Amino acid sequence: MVNTQLFKTAAGVLLPKAKARNEAGALAYALSPRHQLAQLAATGCLNRTFYAAAQTQFQTVHELAQKVDASFVAKTAIYARQSGHMKDMPAFLAATLAVRDVGLLGQVFGRVVDNGKMLRNFVQIVRSGAVGRKSLGTRPKKLVQAWLLNASEKQLLNAAVGNTPSLADVVKMVHPKPAEAWRAAWFAWLIGKSFVEADLPPITQSFERFKRGMALGVSSMDVPEVPFQMLTTLDLNTAQWAQIARTGSWQMVRQNLNTFARHGVFEVQGMAEVVAAKLRDPQAVAKAGVMPYQLMSAFTATGDGVPAVVRDALQDAMEAAISNAPVFDGRVVVCPDVSGSMSSAVTGHRGSATSAVRCIDVAALVAASVLRKNPSARVLPFEQAVVKHSLNARDSVMTNAKALASIGGGGTNCSAPLALLNKERAEVDVVILVSDNESWVDAQRHGATQTMREWEVLKQRNPQARLVCIDIQPYATTQAAERADILNVGGFSDAVFDTVSAFMEGQADVEHWVGEIEKVSLDAQ
């Protein structure tokens, strides 16, 4: 007779074995090298997170960028910049191509280095020696020169704000040879060489006149349309600050609401309504490429001096920003991780520049966005266990996100919501898990993770169900192995919703998210 103790039926015995360890030291599934690179590119900012140091992230990305094929590196750089709205990682991936494949760099440069900040990031990374060289080299130098020689005056002025390196440093490095008199004069003005003011382009000329007028005490001059950081050392009056708010870019206005309040902008008749109208404009929101969490940050940071109409406009902007959150057929369960590790800044620790937005805020925001589009969805926040709560689907995304984000604390147990659904014998069609995937409370000694075990039990009851794991931290493991009914996707921009929608509609490739990145065309656009 067979030994029933040795050969007894065990739950999960046929599931894939978890052979990796997550950052918390528990069993996990390692993502493929391409998936790891995509995950780091969409969530990593090369800053210290709860579990990983910035240097560790850098080394991991560098190794992966050498391991996968160069075309995938190029596509990931484009995706991370254009869809993920990231800055550091796309510039870093482009910089690795400066060493590995300058031909590919030429194909992607304009789509990754799409403004002056990205240009300075790229130059700094290459010149640092981090990617294996300290000089730009012939082809990268020509690409930088081409950007400088084709940028508009406004683009150049925006690029001139910031250091390490400054735009003046970049110009001195690459020595662009402008054909236009205005550009030659502008470069001379930028780097402190002699120039003829009459040759300067119009905005820069008006800036020079404005500075002279302010020095002479003339306070009635119109403010030139230069980046407002170039004006902050001048003694501007309330009317001039109001002009800055009226003419400024959407992102600049969103970032400086408290500054405008301190300078009395909202005390000027009609200005609160002007700013509110700008902020809630759906087309402006889409054009700005704002991440939903940035709106949450602005809303949370607004002081008492910012009027209610402006705060309400930020909530309207949020509704526009999450407009592509998917509507699902069937029974939806969304599970935001509210454990202790989710209290870290979403973009990592950056000293005094550390974002006030935490991972838990982003997880709560994703959950609230799904609830907004799927009012019958069930929300199960979890840490060591599922946390009881009460949300109203009719409340704004911002209100529900703040309510979820206020929970916080405890260890991470990614299988907890699945275990509860199994205990209830619940019928579900889609489960969305939003976490850093650093589950350890439910750690197994060997075999499959507890998340996979619970999912397999749920699948036996709901064979058509699908699991979406949205990871918002730059780690390289997951609690749910990639397969046809499981999507692992990383990031905290609204582009994640597009990938989730494609997955739910059966349009995603076998590798799901990686397949979406592979669809990026390298042809010039």
Q: Give the tokens for residue 374.
A: 């799927």
Q: Give the tokens for residue 292.
A: 């939903």
The reply to whether 497 and 358 lie within a common domain is yes
The answer to whether residues 383 and 341 touch, using CB atoms and an 8 Å cutoff, is no
Residue 260 sits at the vertex; the CA angle it makes with 256 and 295, to the nearest 5 degrees, is: 35
The reply to whether 338 and 245 lie within a common domain is no
The answer to whether residues 317 and 285 touch, using CB atoms and an 8 Å cutoff, is yes
Lowest mean pLDDT among 120-129, 250-259, 341-350, 396-405: 341-350
Residue 334 within any structural domain of the chain: yes
Dihedral sign (CA 132, 136, 142, 148) = positive
Burial of 498 (0-12, 13-18, 19+ CB in 10 A): middle
Residue 17 within any structural domain of the chain: no
The reply to whether 432 and 496 lie within a common domain is yes
Measured CA to CA, the distance from residue 386 to residue 25 in angstroms comes to: 22
The reply to whether 64 and 164 lie within a common domain is yes
Measured CA to CA, the distance from residue 383 to residue 477 in angstroms comes to: 18
Written as one string, the DSSP assignment of 436-503 is -----TT--SSSS-HHHHHHHHHHHH-TT-EEEEEE-S--SEESS--BTTEEEEE-SSTHHHHHHHHH
The reply to whether 179 and 307 lie within a common domain is no
Amino acid at 128: S
The answer to whether residues 51 and 120 touch, using CB atoms and an 8 Å cutoff, is no
Last residue of a domain, one of 320, 348, 364: 320
pLDDT of residue 9: 44
Residue 472 sits at the vertex; the CA angle it makes with 467 and 475, to the nearest 5 degrees, is: 95
Measured CA to CA, the distance from residue 52 to residue 439 in angstroms comes to: 15
Would you call 142 helix, strand, or coil by DSSP? helix
Residue 215 within any structural domain of the chain: no
Measured CA to CA, the distance from residue 367 to residue 389 in angstroms comes to: 13
Q: Give the tokens for residue 123.
A: 């130059």
The reply to whether 432 and 356 lie within a common domain is yes
**In total, how many domains does the chain have?**
3
The answer to whether residues 472 and 362 touch, using CB atoms and an 8 Å cutoff, is yes
Indicate the average pLDDT of the chain: 90
Average the pLDDT over 145-152 and give the result.
98
Give the C-alpha distances (Å, rounded to integers) separating 464 from 24, 332, 350, 460. 32, 13, 43, 9
Written as one string, the DSSP assignment of 186-245 is HHHHHHT----GGGS-HHHHHHHHHHHHHHTT---SPPPSS-GGGTTTS---HHHHHHHH
Average the pLDDT over 135-139 and give the result.
92
Last residue of a domain, one of 320, 337, 369: 320
Residue 108 within any structural domain of the chain: yes
Which residues, 6+ apart, have CB-to-CB distance to 90 below 8 Å?
41, 77, 78, 80, 81, 84, 112, 118
Residue 523 within any structural domain of the chain: no
Last residue of a domain, one of 320, 349, 380: 320
What does the pLDDT look like over 252-275, one tens digit per residue? 999 999 999 999 999 999 999 999
Residue 21 within any structural domain of the chain: no
Average the pLDDT over 461-490 and give the result.
92
Residue 214 within any structural domain of the chain: no
Average the pLDDT over 461-482 and give the result.
92
Instruction: Give pTM, 2 decimals.
Output: 0.87
Measured CA to CA, the distance from residue 257 to residue 262 in angstroms comes to: 9
The domain of 306 spans 223-320
Residue whose C-alpha is closest to residue 22's, from 480, 479, 523: 479
pLDDT of residue 352: 59
The reply to whether 334 and 481 lie within a common domain is yes
Name the CA dihedral angle for 481, 482, 486, 487, rounded to a multiple of 10 degrees: 120
The reply to whether 243 and 151 lie within a common domain is no
Q: Give the tokens for residue 139.
A: 């082809």
Buried b (16+ CB within 10 A) or exposed e, 69-79: ebbbbbbbbbb
Residue 448 within any structural domain of the chain: yes
Asked if pLDDT for residue 8 goes beyond 80, the answer is: no
Average the pLDDT over 505-525 and give the result.
80
What does the pLDDT look like over 28-64, one tens digit per residue? 999 999 999 998 888 877 666 666 667 777 888 899 9
Average the pLDDT over 287-302 and give the result.
86
The reply to whether 378 and 426 lie within a common domain is yes
The reply to whether 385 and 490 lie within a common domain is yes
Would you call 512 helix, strand, or coil by DSSP? strand
Strands 332-336 and 430-435: parallel
The reply to whether 461 and 506 lie within a common domain is yes
The reply to whether 397 and 498 lie within a common domain is yes
Q: Which residue has the higher pLDDT, 354 or 189?
A: 189
Average the pLDDT over 207-215 and give the result.
93
Asked if pLDDT for residue 12 goes beyond 60, the answer is: no
